[in-house]
Chains A and B, each alone.
Chain A
Amino acid sequence: MPQSLSEGGFRVTIKGAEAPVICRAEQKLLFAIEEQVPFPHPRPVRVGCRKGGCGACRIKVTSGDYVTAKMSRDHVTEAEERQGFALACRLTPQSDLEIETAFLGPRRGHEGQND
């Protein structure tokens, strides 16, 4: 059962953001952020492909329950998934959440290859 479903959704607190985001049942977190922090305001989580492939919206969940759809292993390894890392575009809250951004930038740059 949901732990809290206030205002028609779960409350997602983003570390460093001014206000929480309310994520409706079944809604992917990134889409709630895009709706509630409209352009041109700076968004607390980066928006990229919105489809689990690019890693722009990588976050770490520090509190709460959630489910995720398939995410590219380039950006969330199995070990990282167990530690709470996820892509916001593939994450659906199952309770109120606390998250922080965890965007990595280019992850596997090879030393010396960009000279």
Chain B
Amino acid sequence: MSQEGLLRPGIIQLRVLDMEEAITHYVERIGLDLVSKEADGRVYLKAYDEFHHHSVVLREADRAGIDYFAFKADCQASVDAFRKRIEAWGLAVDDVPAGEQPATGARIGFTIPSGHRIELFAEMALSENGPETHNPFVWKTEPRGMRAQRLDHCLLYGPNIDKVEEFFTRVLDFHLPERVDLPDGTLAIWMTVSNKAHDIAFVKHPEPGKLHHVAFFLENWNDIGHAADLMSRYDISRDVGPTRHGITRGQTIYFFDPSGNRNEVFCGGYTAYKDHPTRVWDGNHVGRGIFYYERQLNDAFLTVVT
């Protein structure tokens, strides 16, 4: 294969204040499938179009936010090689043994200069409830709620964005389709390890380790409208949209889960190859970059994080 090393986002573990409310939101509204509830209280979810065992882990806690974001590698040798490069760059790496989560192999973890925990792993069993692979239908059972197809990316807020960019591009082999540069430095970066427009993004922020949003992929713009219909019907706290981003060109709507973690469902977005140049936005045009139709930023979108 031509894509080696890291392949894609694999797991996000989110903290929620009330597990039952969270399950209703992520399963009935966003449309993820409930894979299992384990003895330690964590709940495992996957989208209907994902092949592997799970992609979203919910953990009940007394504060909202993100525990970690994990990328899946093509093989254990790649994870071992990344470990050496990460340690050489100066980060401490710890081990999470196989079986810490169901159907999941050993993981390595480390804290990047923005204060977020990132993990890498190679092994996860295929789901018994994944998409068909032999003369497949587009789905086996009609999707629920917003019909999310996959965990897509997250946007994280924290300090030291320049160091984060260096780490992801030089150590983890990401490339950088888009960025926002202000006179006093880089405000935001969108990075990908595949050819999606983004697998992970960061915005400069004084408080480390914060979650701006986790995003799920929908099939098309009509599904964004359907998601908005569900938000009004079920009184989901809507943030912004439906609208489009200039950055990534994705079509989108933002809302909050019952613990205040921001969610996005989006579709579209361009294809990003490693030999493409980075698109750069400056402070005079960043409003159009973030919200292409409104052409201006809103305060809550910029500052509200968990």
Residues in A lying within 8 Å of B, measured CB to CB: 46-54, 56, 70-74, 105-110, 113-115
Contact = CB atoms under 8 A, between A and B. Distances in A.
Of A53, A105, A107, A108, most B-chain CB atoms within 10 Å: A53
A106 B302 CA distance: 12
A49 B206 contact: no
Contacts of A113: 113, 115, 159-160, 206, 208
Interface residues of B, number: 30
Contacts of A108: 207-208
Contacts of A73: 62-63
B205 to A, nearest CB: 7
Contact of A49 (B113, B159, B204, B256): B256
A114 to B, nearest CB: 4
A71 B65 CA distance: 12
B237 A106 contact: no
A47 B206 CA distance: 20
Interface string B181-210: 000000000000000000000001111101
Contact of A109 (B113, B207, B257): B207
B213 to A, nearest CB: 11
A110 B256 contact: no
Given A73-B63, A110-B206, A115-B160, 17 more contacts: A46-B300, A48-B303, A49-B306, A50-B256, A51-B258, A53-B65, A53-B261, A54-B64, A56-B304, A72-B63, A72-B64, A72-B260, A106-B205, A110-B115, A110-B159, A114-B204, A114-B206
Interface in B147-164: 159-160
Of A51, A73, A105, most B-chain CB atoms within 10 Å: A51
Contacts of A70: 17-18, 62
Contacts of A48: 260, 300, 303-304
A110 B160 CA distance: 11
Contacts of A107: 207
28 contacts: A46-B300, A48-B260, A48-B300, A49-B237, A49-B256, A50-B260, A54-B260, A54-B305, A54-B306, A56-B300, A70-B17, A70-B18, A72-B63, A72-B64, A72-B65, A72-B260, A74-B64, A106-B210, A107-B207, A108-B208, A109-B207, A110-B115, A110-B208, A113-B113, A113-B115, A113-B206, A114-B204, A115-B160
Of B64, B205, B257, B305, most A-chain CB atoms within 10 Å: B64
Contacts of B257: 51
A52 B62 CA distance: 11
Nearest to A111: B206
B206 A52 contact: no
Interface in B240-282: 256-262
